[in-house]
A and B are shown apart, each in its own frame.
Chain A
């Protein structure tokens, strides 16, 4: 791939001065590819964690215990009402200061890396919205449908897993798509705690090579492409899961 595009971008630079160095310099190219990989991993794990939190949180919201519901409500309020940037900084610099350091043979590294803190922080941030999205989906599932499952011997958990959640998921999908797309974009904030994802990597590239506009363009296009793919995937899922004979 590199050898294929390198001459093209080298010539572009030589002839026009447009410096897309990540496409013709091996070192910068490797940095760029690693940035893509880290960004994709960050997006994947943050979304996954936010979904797990969303499902569990929404389930707790249906529980009879006021205490449990109160805890989840507090969590939602806390993370919905503070900026994700502040949350990242708080997790990494605030909580990070109290996490143990591991001896790596002569030097110390924090037990939880900045990458792990970013996943935790972003997953928890996105999860707060997912809880609310799933909760509204669950509330839209007719009570009588869950009751039918109960009358067929399904336990509370089985009813949730086999009936309520699959239906609530379908109802929630449009809102969920919005939130996950938003979360994917928010991963770029991990830049502030030095996670070498796309924004951080390209920032380093443009600092070294003074080619800000070109790298900005690449960064912009990277997110357009990645986020469009996520949205397209979720729209496809929405169509595939549409209940036959209902709605559209």
Chain B
């Protein structure tokens, strides 16, 4: 059974239909990249997967559980699905360590000592050992983004969503964030990434989806999509960005 099943999803903001019947599956341990021009509905799509945006039609299932079910326990869903945002969105009044520890301690009510151990290990894992007590305002964009990744991982999710996580970063710091994600993927974490980093998508993804104007235009393994795109829209997009 796929870990995430997206079937015929429609989503509108007022009169504007952003997603017009999108379907795809993600299996356990798979890394999926969603690429496409700005405004094609990529971010909306992954935000729907953890219920930050609701959908009007279709179905999204995570581990067989319908996300669009009004009786769904959103908290249970979000425990399984971690998300990292473009703007990091760290809590500016908390240190890096506190940012990572907060949700497991306050929401999951896990023992503080245990969480702290895990949080320190996660901070070390994203190569920020020594920055535990630093506040977000004193960290670079790339460092903040890695804390945000550690913060999501602290909830022990089954799947991680990355919403253009390098789009707001300096070119030098993009690399360190991508490296972190690459390591995660190598460890078998299921990842869905919306990205403009074509080189990265090509290197890391198991499957790439090209979206435009609310639909999936074309998809396939990266080698195939990046070298032998069939659709004219995909070809044009790739020729512009690669």
Given A243-B92, A246-B92, A246-B137, also A144-B85 (CB < 8 A): yes
* Contact A152–B135 (Cβ < 8 Å): no
B: contact size bracket: 20 to 34
A152 to B161, CA, bound (A): 12
Choose one: B78, B87, B137, B138; the contact of A151 (CB below 8 Å): B78
- What residue of chain B has the Cβ atom nearest to residue A143's Cβ? B89
Report the stretch among B15-23, B101-109, B220-228, B233-241 that lies at the interface: B101-109
- A243 to B107, alpha carbons, bound, how many Å? 24
A73-100 vs B, CB cutoff 8 Å, 1 = contact: the mask equals 0000000000000000000000000000
Chain B positions 78 through 118: 1 when the CB is less than 8 Å from some CB of chain A, otherwise 0: 11001101010111110000000011001110000000000
CA distance A73 to B155 in the complex (A): 39
| Interface pair A151/B50, CB less than 8 Å apart | yes
Question: Which residues on A sit within 8 Å (CB–CB) of B79?
Answer: 153
Q: In the complex where A154-B106, A158-B106, A245-B136 touch, is A144 in contact with B87 (Cβ < 8 A)?
A: yes
- Within the assembled complex, what's the spacing in Å between the Cα atoms of A37 and B85? 53
Interface residue stretch chosen among A41-49, A159-167, A215-223, A230-238: A159-167
Q: Within 8 Å of chain A (Cβ to Cβ): is B152?
A: yes
Q: Does A224 belong to the interface (CB within 8 Å)?
A: no
B236 CB to closest chain A CB (Å) equals 32
Q: Bound state CA distance, A151 and B82, in angstroms? A: 7
The complex places the Cα of A154 from the Cα of B89 at a distance, in Å, of: 14
Residues A68-127 near B (CB distance < 8 A): none
Let me know if A152 and B155 touch, CB within 8 A: yes
**What string of 1s and 0s marks CB contacts (under 8 Å) between B126-142 and chain A?**
00000000011111000
| Bound Cα distance A150, B85 (Å) | 13
Contact present for A162 and B87 (CB under 8 Å) = no
A-B contacts, 14 listed (Cβ < 8 Å): A144-B87, A149-B91, A149-B103, A150-B78, A151-B78, A151-B83, A152-B152, A153-B79, A158-B106, A162-B106, A166-B93, A167-B93, A244-B138, A246-B137
